[in-house]
């Protein structure tokens, strides 16, 4: 049985990725690295996953540790077993927060990634190291961004982007010595069939604002509305990663897990308006004005829209995903049009809005 070390559990992506991986290959034993403070939550989730997916029974092992410590903070006996027997490493742990201060972001996202890569380099039977980055290591770059590109002198909009970029720089130092694959998702939204998500942020802020508006009302766009926004359902990202990891010759490659035909901000807003039955009208405003107004605390609180959204909803860039499309050929896995997905997301939001609070994703 293949021993797999995975970080980021009990996070939304890591837990669902393990289930999807077993759809393609049933010989995995997962060693889940969990921060001690998240252990009760991880144990609860493990019980739920094994009840829902009996094939996982006895194959989800929880070990406490911390990616920011040498040897991931593993106990000596566990560390020795990982070094001797682990064949695959999936590194998903990160702080996914656009407002995070630089110091904790750098420690977790950059230093932690380098330490996990260093640990992987000591594994006696390592076959593959998979790293989950983000498409937004591109920072403020414009135009078409290709999968093999990383450093192009770009600047960054926040510490999340910068520290994930630096993490890629760090892990690429091992590229010639380790079988490394890098996945770069776009902005991940809920499940395309069920709408399930872990939190209501990003484009969900827009849904929340629209939900409060009366029918036929006027709503301003965050900038021109003419630039595309790369939103991808979580099930597409997970399915693509699992397939590429188990079926494609992925070592040494970078994959953009992005929508090959993304909608513009205006098209996304119209799809949300239609799904909510609002028949809203939209007005374009300069991005500098939208960001300036939303940077005023009381206004941002009243509007329910963080100013950082402007940076992602009004930026002239596209992500090439040639490697991903080629690797998924024949798999039946495709990124659905966001027009298909938006009604599902809105329905889930309406069902869950009273019990849901926007919350930071787990690391």
User: Which tens digit of pLDDT belongs to each residue from 195-218?
Assistant: 999 889 899 999 999 999 999 999
Residue 360: per-residue pLDDT: 38
Q: Name the percent of the chain lying above pLDDT 70.
A: 98
pLDDT classification of 55: cutoffs 50, 70, 90 = confident
* Domain spanning 2-187+231-257, CATH architecture: 3-Layer(aba) Sandwich (3.40)
Contacts of 150 (CB under 8 A, 6+ apart): 137, 165, 168, 169, 172
Residue 40: per-residue pLDDT: 97
Residue 356: per-residue pLDDT: 66
Mean pLDDT of the chain: 93
User: Which tens digit of pLDDT belongs to each residue from 293-348?
Assistant: 888 878 777 777 788 888 899 999 999 999 999 999 999 999 999 999 999 999 99
For residue 60, give the 3-state DSSP assignment.
strand
Kindly state the average pLDDT of the residues 95-99: 89
Tell me yes or no: is domain 192-229+261-317+337-352 CATH 3.40.720: no
User: Which tens digit of pLDDT belongs to each residue from 180-201?
Assistant: 999 999 999 999 999 999 889 8
Kindly state the average pLDDT of the residues 80-103: 95
For the residues of 38-84, what is the DSSP string, one character each?
GHHHHHHHHHHHHHH-GGGTT-EEEEE--TTSGGGG--HHHHHHHHH
Tell me the pTM: 0.95
Cβ atoms of 222 and 309 within 8 Å: the answer is: yes
44 vs 303, more confident: 44
Indicate the length of the chain as a whole number.
363
Kindly state the average pLDDT of the residues 242-248: 91
User: Which tens digit of pLDDT belongs to each residue from 252-307?
Assistant: 999 999 999 999 999 999 999 999 999 999 999 998 898 888 888 787 777 777 88
Kindly state the average pLDDT of the residues 136-154: 97
Domain parsing of the chain, residue ranges: 2-187+231-257, 192-229+261-317+337-352
pLDDT classification of 26: cutoffs 50, 70, 90 = confident
């Amino acid at each position: 049985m293949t021993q797999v070390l995975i970080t980021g559990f009990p996070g939304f992506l890591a837990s669902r990725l393990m289930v999807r991986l077993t759809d393609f290959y049933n010989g995995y034993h997962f060693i889940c690295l969990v921060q001690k403070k998240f252990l009760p939550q991880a144990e609860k989730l493990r019980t739920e996953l094994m009840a829902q997916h009996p094939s996982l029974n006895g194959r989800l092992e929880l070990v406490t540790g911390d990616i920011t410590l040498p040897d991931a903070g593993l106990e000596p006996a566990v560390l020795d077993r990982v070094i001797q027997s682990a064949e695959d490493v999936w590194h998903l742990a990160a702080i996914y927060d656009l407002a995070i201060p630089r110091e904790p972001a750098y420690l977790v996202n950059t230093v932690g990634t380098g330490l996990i890569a260093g640990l992987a380099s000591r594994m006696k039977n390592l076959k593959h190291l998979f790293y989950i980055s983000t498409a937004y290591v591109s920072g403020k770059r414009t135009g078409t961004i290709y999968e093999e590109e990383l450093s192009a002198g770009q600047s960054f909009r926040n510490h999340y982007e910068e520290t994930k970029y630096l993490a890629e720089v760090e892990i690429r130092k091992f590229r010639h010595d380790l079988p490394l694959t890098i996945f770069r998702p776009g902005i991940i939204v809920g499940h395309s069939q069920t709408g399930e998500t872990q939190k209501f942020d990003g484009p969900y802020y827009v849904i929340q604002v629209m939900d409060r508006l009366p029918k036929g009302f006027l709503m301003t766009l965050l900038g021109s509305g003419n630039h595309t926004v790369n939103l991808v359902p979580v099930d597409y990202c997970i399915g693509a990663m699992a397939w590429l990891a188990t079926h494609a010759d992925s070592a040494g490659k970078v994959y953009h897990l992005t929508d090959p035909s993304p909608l513009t901000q205006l098209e996304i807003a119209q799809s949300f308006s239609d799904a909510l039955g609002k028949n809203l009208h939209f007005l374009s405003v300069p991005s500098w004005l939208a960001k300036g107004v939303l940077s005023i605390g009381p206004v941002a609180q009243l509007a329910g829209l963080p100013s950082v959204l402007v940076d992602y909803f009004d930026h002239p860039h596209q992500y090439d995903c040639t490697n991903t499309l080629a690797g998924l050929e024949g798999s039946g896995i495709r990124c659905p049009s966001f027009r298909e997905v938006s009604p599902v997301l809105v329905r889930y939001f309406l069902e869950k809005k009273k019990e849901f609070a926007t919350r930071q994703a787990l690391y």
